[in-house]
Amino acid sequence: MTPIRLAMVGGGPGAFIGPVHRMAAELDGRIRLVAGAFSRDPDKSAAAAEAWGARGYADWREMLAVEAARPDGAQAVAVVTPNHLHFPVCRAALEAGLHVMSDKPATLNLAEARELAGVVEKSGRLYGLTYTYTGYPMIREAREIVRRGDLGQVRKIVVEYPQGWLSRAIEREGAKQAEWRLDPALAGAGCIGDIGVHAFNLAEFVGGVRVERLCADVSTVVPGRPLDDDCNVLLRFENGARGVLIASQISAGARNGLKLQVYGETGGLTWSHERPSELTLDWLDGPTHVLHAASGYLSGPAQAASRIPTGHPEGFIEAFANLYRDFAAAIAEGRPDAGLVPGIGEGVRSMAFVETAVAASRDGQGWVTLEGALP
Ligand SMILES: NC(=O)c1ccc[n+]([C@@H]2O[C@H](COP(=O)([O-])OP(=O)(O)OC[C@H]3O[C@@H](n4cnc5c(N)ncnc54)[C@H](O)[C@@H]3O)[C@@H](O)[C@H]2O)c1
């Protein structure tokens, strides 16, 4: 298969996730980075382009115009900028006829996400959203276990995402990634939009049930911040299941401690990002089982998400690469959706989650319905 030609917006020198996207996209040889407007700073964009052997642009609008017109131009764009640019860049790329792989949150707010859903539909192009954790083999196994009904009906979902890196006001000490994440104009929401959306998506992806109502306590712990840094949300799912979602960036000492537990009538499963190649199954009437990635006894989707034999650790980059591999296959085959890769529907749902939880918490509304989410 001829590699799909990818362009990137963001991901310049010193950026966190752009380089991860590049490595992941190119990991299987099905995608090649050919162009980028990698930074607001033209010199930095040129430096990244040279380092990565891609065509560099000073401005993303110019890049889209030139690349869309070239016969060998980019076919897809990875959007890895701060959040405020997700909507304008995704919209312009789709309207220029390019497929889009965007990082989360989908947009700055729900209105933009809804508008983007219309643009995606009209464009006939693919839109993928990198909810990274959906790409892990044992998360895909967990999803299959729930879908098969091995646990019985889902009754309770607990998802926690503690980080500690914003325990001090480092956004006032020149930490760039903290600066924009705590600026309402650039980030839209705080911790809930940054990592709460991952937790929300994961609960629905694995649990196979949608959140219908919630009761949120979204707060700012470090004084002087205009956005939240700690979120505690009770959930009720459409099938009657109960849940708890915790997302926090002031959990001092925590690194990237995402953990998911799903309990059914006869047992529960636990997955932890710090041991991502394992999935623990606890049974009401039997011994605990620990499943390992890349084992022959796993489901097809889980086996397909590993590249090397069991016992050899794979992780974050490979999980991203699984999203890119599915995305590339869908483009090559001309399919209208990219299988397990989250799309704009998930984007709209999670922006509805963010807006509903923030407003309900601010106004002390207690339990509210999660309105405005696409099915
Ligand atoms: N899926 C995940 O696990 C995950 C992890 C981290 C970040 N993210 C998301 O990725 C995005 C980027 O986060 P980050 O931590 O890499 O941020 P970052 O600050 O490290 O990088 C942002 C990059 O965007 C560039 N940029 C800003 N304005 C630009 C413009 N006008 N044109 C071109 N480039 C521009 C910056 O120069 C920088 O290179 C955010 O939306 C964030 O939420 C997702």
**CATH number for the domain harbouring residue 64:** 3.40.50.720
Residue 165: CB partners within 8 Å, gap ≥ 6? 178, 249
pLDDT digits (tens, 9 = 90+) for 307-364: 999 999 999 999 999 999 999 999 999 998 899 999 999 999 999 999 999 999 999 9
Tell how far the Cα of 36 is from the centroid of ligand 1, in angstroms.
Answer: 13
Report yes or no on 257 lying in a domain.
yes
Mean pLDDT confidence for 86-104: 98
Domain boundaries, position 185: 134-307+349-362
Tell how far the Cα of 14 is from the centroid of ligand 1, in angstroms.
Answer: 10
Closest atom, ligand 1, to C-alpha of 18: 16
Mean pLDDT confidence for 191-212: 98
Tokens (6 digits) for 77: 């764009």
**Are 182 and 110 in a shared domain?**
no
Mean pLDDT confidence for 129-146: 98
**Are 195 and 54 in a shared domain?**
no
Residue 31: CB partners within 8 Å, gap ≥ 6? 3, 4, 5, 6, 25, 76, 324, 328
Tell how far the Cα of 187 is from the centroid of ligand 1, in angstroms.
Answer: 10
Question: How big is the chain, counted in residues?
Answer: 375
Residue 374 reports pLDDT greater than 60: no
pLDDT digits (tens, 9 = 90+) for 36-58: 999 999 999 999 999 999 999 99
Q: Are 4 and 332 in contact (CB under 8 A)?
A: yes
Q: Are 120 and 142 in contact (CB under 8 A)?
A: no
Report yes or no on 251 lying in a domain.
yes
**Are 92 and 36 in a shared domain?**
yes
> Which of the 8 DSSP states describes residue 188?
S
Closest atom, ligand 1, to C-alpha of 48: 39
Q: From start to end of the chain, where are the E strands?
A: 4-10, 31-37, 55-56, 76-80, 99-102, 127-129, 156-162, 211-219, 230-237, 242-248, 259-263, 267-272, 278-283, 286-292, 367-369
pLDDT digits (tens, 9 = 90+) for 266-322: 999 999 999 999 999 999 999 999 999 999 999 999 999 999 999 999 999 999 999
- Which residue ranges have their beta carbon within 6 Å of ligand 1? 9-12, 15-18, 37, 39-40, 60, 80-83, 85, 103-104, 130, 132, 176-177, 180, 194
Tell how far the Cα of 208 is from the centroid of ligand 1, in angstroms.
Answer: 30
Torsions phi, psi for 163 (to 5 deg): -130, 155
**Are 255 and 353 in a shared domain?**
yes
Residue 258: CB partners within 8 Å, gap ≥ 6? 133, 159, 160, 161, 195, 198, 199, 202, 272, 273
Burial classification of residue 170, based on how many CB atoms lie within 10 Å of its CB (0-12 exposed, 13-18 middle, 19 or more buried): middle
**Are 121 and 147 in a shared domain?**
no
Residue ending a domain, choose from 96, 111, 132: 132
Report yes or no on 16 lying in a domain.
yes
State the greatest distance between any 2 C-alpha atoms of the chain, in Å, as a whole number. Answer: 63
CA-nearest residue, atom 33 of ligand 1 = 39
Q: Are 207 and 268 in contact (CB under 8 A)?
A: no
Question: How do strand 267-272 and strand 278-283 relate by DSSP bridges?
Answer: antiparallel
Tell me the chain's radius of gyration from C-alpha atoms.
Answer: 20
**Are 153 and 262 in a shared domain?**
yes
The pLDDT value recorded for residue 1 is 76
Residue ending a domain, choose from 117, 132, 147: 132
Residue 199 reports pLDDT greater than 60: yes
Mean pLDDT confidence for 67-71: 97
Tell how far the Cα of 301 is from the centroid of ligand 1, in angstroms.
Answer: 29
The pLDDT value recorded for residue 373 is 66
Closest atom, ligand 1, to C-alpha of 194: 43
By most ligand atoms within 8 Å of CB, the mutation choice from 8, 16, 197 for ligand 1 is 16
The pLDDT value recorded for residue 369 is 96
Q: Are 170 and 178 in contact (CB under 8 A)?
A: yes
The pLDDT value recorded for residue 371 is 80
Q: Which residues pair with 282 in a beta bridge?
A: 268
Tell how far the Cα of 129 is from the centroid of ligand 1, in angstroms.
Answer: 14
Residue 148: CB partners within 8 Å, gap ≥ 6? none
Tell how far the Cα of 12 is from the centroid of ligand 1, in angstroms.
Answer: 9
